[in-house]
Amino acid sequence: MKTQNGKTVIARNGNGRHIEQILAGKIASDMSFNEKVWTICANVPKGKVTTYAAIARKLGTAAYRAVGNALNKNPYAPKVPCHRVVGSDGSLTGFAGGIPKKKYLLQSEGVAFAKGRVDLAVSACEL
């Protein structure tokens, strides 16, 4: 999301139709799949993570790769913190800013790591 001449401009697949609900973490029945993914991601607090598969399960699907695709198109970063989504084994995957930046962001938020991966036993949140 960018501001130009005092107006909000939505980029990369965000049409702004549900922006308030997405940022508030409240799913609406008429949201697209991507909007629902972004909404769930908006609920992940600083210092915690979730997984692509956990978001997919929350949406009643097994399509964890579609979750990753939606996050890749997240127009609301950093307000919708897609860097807080990791692989099911705690691995750092898929981040437009690069894996080193994702690790830096997570570490700066206090996310626990063990053996090069996020320690999900310590840092995973309930969705």
For residue 82, indicate whether it is catalytic. yes
> Cis peptide before 78, with omega less than 30 degrees from 0?
yes
Name the active-site residue from 37, 70, 82, 120: 82
> SS3 of 20, please?
helix
Give the DSSP H or E segment for 66: helix 64-72
Give the DSSP H or E segment for 102: helix 99-108
Distant-in-sequence, close-in-space partners of 1: CB < 8 Å, separation ≥ 6 = 8, 9, 10, 11, 14, 19, 75, 76, 79
What single-letter DSSP state applies at residue 93?
-
Q: Give me the active site residues, please.
A: 82
